[in-house]
């Protein structure tokens, strides 16, 4: 391994030519094995990635959970420890040092590690974004959560711990506001459908919602609270929470744009689509079951 950390990095890609080189440059000198699972990119993603690894696989994309399930089941891993990254992720030096340390001297009964997560919008770090994400886990003790259509997580059997180092999410494609809007337009449809399916019992959580649980359990708890709030009122609550309680006003002009768009465009659009789906169901234009069949194959 030439002194490299005994972990397999997996990165899912699709048209990430602008991002993947930064991600791989950041990890290739200390990670012993790097896999790329590409979804038939039409740009030079694979060409850039091939400068850093020859372990490049192509698999048709259905949804994020399915892609990860395929990866964990089919890639020729040399190691049990897996680090999950996106093409727009940068592992900070602090987190790098912590990962190297736990892989060498970590507790034998710890099966997964959460790390801090920071999101950048137009090169400005946004406050209030999801604080932790599970990034490092034992493959033999982990499965893919299939209970959501939009967000994505792993379920780890046994004990997990937190690392204080950061993964920075810096998507250079999003320097085009049109890209960001198109991306979130798709997310809004998925988010609305998921809430309808969950309200009708066609989706159920794979983990127990707990306010004082691990980071994923707290997120699920917060989502249940969110579902109980009235449509169209929720975006105002969201903006107040993100912009004032979570100090988003300190993020400057870019922060104002981001938090405003998240609340009064994206979240408001989700509520509009939920109301439309409820009307379609009430008049018999569709049913929750038909909606479930549609979205099972479209994410």
pLDDT at residue 29, as a whole number = 95
Whether the pLDDT of residue 3 is over 80: the answer is no
The share of the chain scoring above pLDDT 70, in percent, equals 98
- Whole-angstrom distance, CA of residue 1 vs CA of residue 67: 27
What does the block give as tokens for 123?
């090169």
187, burial (CB in 10 Å: exposed 0-12, middle 13-18, buried 19+) = middle
pLDDT at residue 131, as a whole number = 86
Confidence of residue 299 (pLDDT cuts 50, 70, 90): very low
- For the segment 5-24, the average pLDDT, to the nearest whole number, is 97
**SS3 state of residue 185:** helix
Neighbours of 295 (CB within 10 A): 19
**SS3 state of residue 129:** coil
Per-residue model confidence as pLDDT tens digits over 259-284: 999 999 999 999 999 999 999 999 99
Per-residue model confidence as pLDDT tens digits over 153-187: 999 999 999 999 999 999 999 999 999 999 999 99
Per-residue model confidence as pLDDT tens digits over 180-226: 999 999 999 999 999 999 999 999 999 999 999 999 999 999 999 99
What's the distance, CA 201 to chain centroid? 24
Confidence of residue 292 (pLDDT cuts 50, 70, 90): confident
Whether the pLDDT of residue 1 is over 70: the answer is no
Enumerate domains of the chain plus CATH numbers: 5-173 (3.90.550.10), 176-296 (no CATH)
Per-residue model confidence as pLDDT tens digits over 23-63: 999 999 999 999 999 999 999 999 999 999 999 999 999 88
Per-residue model confidence as pLDDT tens digits over 121-138: 999 999 977 789 999 999
What does the block give as tokens for 50?
């091939």
More confident residue, 249 or 107: 249
Per-residue model confidence as pLDDT tens digits over 87-110: 999 999 999 999 999 999 878 999
pLDDT at residue 233, as a whole number = 98
pLDDT at residue 297, as a whole number = 47
Name the pTM for this structure: 0.93
What is the DSSP annotation of 233-278?
Answer: THHHHHHIIIIIIT-GGGGHHHHHHHHHHIIIIIIHHHHHHHHHHH
Q: 92 with 166: CB under 8 angstroms?
A: yes
- H helix or E strand, kind and range, residue 28: none
């Amino acid at each position: 391994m030439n002194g490299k950390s005994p972990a397999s990095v997996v990165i899912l890609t699709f048209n990430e030519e602008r991002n993947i080189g930064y991600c791989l440059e950041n990890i290739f000198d200390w990670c012993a094995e790097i896999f790329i699972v590409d979804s038939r990119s039409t740009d030079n993603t694979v060409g850039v990635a091939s400068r850093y690894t020859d372990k490049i696989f192509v698999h048709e994309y259905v949804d994020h959970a399915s892609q990860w399930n395929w990866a964990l089941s089919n890639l020729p891993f040399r190691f049990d420890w897996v680090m999950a990254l996106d093409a727009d992720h940068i592992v900070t030096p602090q987190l790098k040092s912590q990962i190297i340390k736990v892989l060498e001297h970590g507790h034998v009964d710890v099966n997964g590690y959460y790390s801090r997560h920071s999101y950048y919008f137009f090169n400005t770090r946004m406050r209030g974004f999801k604080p932790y994400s599970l990034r490092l886990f034992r493959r033999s003790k982990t499965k893919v959560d299939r209970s959501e259509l939009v967000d994505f997580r792993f379920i780890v059997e046994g004990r997990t711990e937190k690392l204080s180092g950061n993964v920075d999410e810096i998507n250079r494609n999003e320097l085009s506001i049109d890209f960001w809007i198109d991306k979130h337009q798709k997310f809004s449809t998925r988010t609305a459908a998921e809430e309808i399916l969950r309200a009708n019992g066609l989706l159920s959580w794979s983990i127990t919602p707990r306010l004082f649980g691990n980071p994923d359990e707290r997120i699920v708890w917060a989502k249940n609270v969110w579902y109980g709030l009235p449509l169209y009122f929720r975006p105002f609550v969201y903006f107040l929470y993100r912009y004032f309680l979570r100090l988003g006003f300190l993020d400057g002009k870019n922060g104002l744009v981001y938090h405003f768009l998240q609340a009064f465009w994206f979240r408001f659009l989700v509520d509009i689509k939920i109301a439309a789906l409820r009307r379609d169901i009430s008049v018999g234009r569709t049913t929750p079951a038909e909606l479930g069949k549609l979205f099972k194959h479209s994410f």
